[in-house]
Amino acid sequence: MATSTVQETAAPYLAQSQAEETQYISFEMFEQKYLTRDDGFKYEWNNGIVEKSPAMRTEELFIIEHLMDLFYQLKKKVGGVLTSEIEQWILPTKYRIPDLAYFTKDQIKKGKEGQRPVSEFMIEIISEYDQMNIIQKKIAEYFEAKVKVVWLILPQYNMVYVYTSPTEVKICADDTLCSAESVIEGFSIKANDLFKID
C-alpha cells in the first residue's frame, strides 16, 4: 500500500515525527499496536492513518467534575450516560475517541447488542498542544455523522465554542450560557461556572 504521514499532534517536541513516513495500517493492526498503549496519549484511526493527541489531563478534572455534577442533576429525568473517552466509529473509516460524549439509554442498549451508536453531543477539551486544523476536521466529521452539538472547551482562555453545525458556533465566556439542550434537556452552564475552581 501507499505510505502516509502519521499525525503527531501531542506537543511541539514531537514535530519531527510529523515527517515520518509510515504505511497505512489496517484497523486490526491499529488495535494491536496502539490501543494497548498506556503512555498518556490518545490514538485515533483515520482511514488508515494513526492520529496521536494528548489524553485528558489531571489539570482538567475540575472541568469534568462540573460537567458530571450538572449531568447527574438531570440524569433521572433524561437518562443515559455522559462518559469520557469512549470509542466511536464516526464514519466507516474514522475511529474517534472524543473527550466526553453523551449516550441515550437506547444507544447504550444498541451498544450492548454490538451496534456502534454515535453520540449526538460530544465534547473536546483543547490543550495548547492540539492543532486546530485537526480539530476542525473532526468537527466536520462529527456533523457528517449526525452529531447535533459539539463543545470545544478551551481552559487556557476560559472559553467554550458551542458548535451546532460545522459553520454555526457560539463563543461562551464569562456569564454566557453554554447549552446542549437540543440533546440533553436542561444541560446548560455558564462559562464562569464551568471554569470556577471550588
The CA–CA distances, whole Å, from 54 to 57, 58, 79, 90, 131 equal: 8, 12, 30, 19, 11
**Beta bridge partners of residue 86, listed in sequence order:** none
Predicted local confidence at residue 118, as pLDDT: 92
The set of residues, in sequence order, having a beta carbon less than 8 Å from that of 4 and lying 6+ positions away, is 21, 22, 23, 24, 48, 49
Summarised one tens digit per residue, pLDDT across range 13-64 is 333 334 345 568 777 777 777 777 776 677 777 777 777 776 666 778 899 9
Summarize pLDDT for 83-131 with one digit per residue, the tens. Answer: 988 888 888 888 888 999 999 999 999 989 989 899 999 999 988 777 7
Which segments of 92-180 are extended strands (E)?
Answer: 94-96, 100-103, 121-125, 149-154, 159-163, 169-173, 177-179
What would the pLDDT profile of 59-81 be if each residue is shown by its tens digit?
Answer: 788 999 999 999 999 999 999 99
Identify the residue whose cell numbers are 502519521: 6
